[in-house]
């Protein structure tokens, strides 16, 4: 993955967040950018980031990631 969100991509200046806030903000922006690149596919996003899918889902929930809805599942044409 080539696009790592830069410091200007955040909504809050890093100096006001402190260390842990800045790390959480970076994680959130990185996950959002990767989700966007993977068209909302959380399984592919987890693989691209080297995370387990369940841990990615927990991070999405905990960090308040603006995640697009998961892609619709294709129905098999039987019959």
Q: Where are the alpha helices (DSSP H) in 1-79?
A: 18-37, 42-49, 53-63
Model pLDDT for residues 14-71, shown as the tens digit of each residue: 567 799 999 999 999 999 999 999 999 999 999 999 999 999 999 999 999 987 776 6
Model pLDDT for residues 46-57, shown as the tens digit of each residue: 999 999 999 999
Domain boundaries defined on the chain: 40-66
Q: Is the CB of residue 53 less than 8 Å from the CB of residue 42? A: yes
Q: What is the model's pTM?
A: 0.69
Angle, helices 53-63 vs 42-49, to 10°: value is 100
Please provide the size of the chain in residues.
Answer: 79
| The pLDDT of residue 5 is above 70 | no
């Amino acid at each position: 993955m080539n696009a790592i969100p830069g410091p200007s991509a955040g909504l809050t200046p890093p100096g006001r967040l402190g260390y842990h806030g800045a790390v959480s903000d970076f994680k959130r922006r990185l996950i959002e950018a990767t989700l966007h690149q993977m068209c909302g596919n959380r399984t592919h996003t987890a693989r691209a980031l080297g995370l387990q899918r369940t841990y990615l889902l927990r991070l999405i929930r905990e960090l308040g990631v603006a995640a697009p809805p998961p892609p619709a599942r294709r129905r098999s044409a039987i019959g």
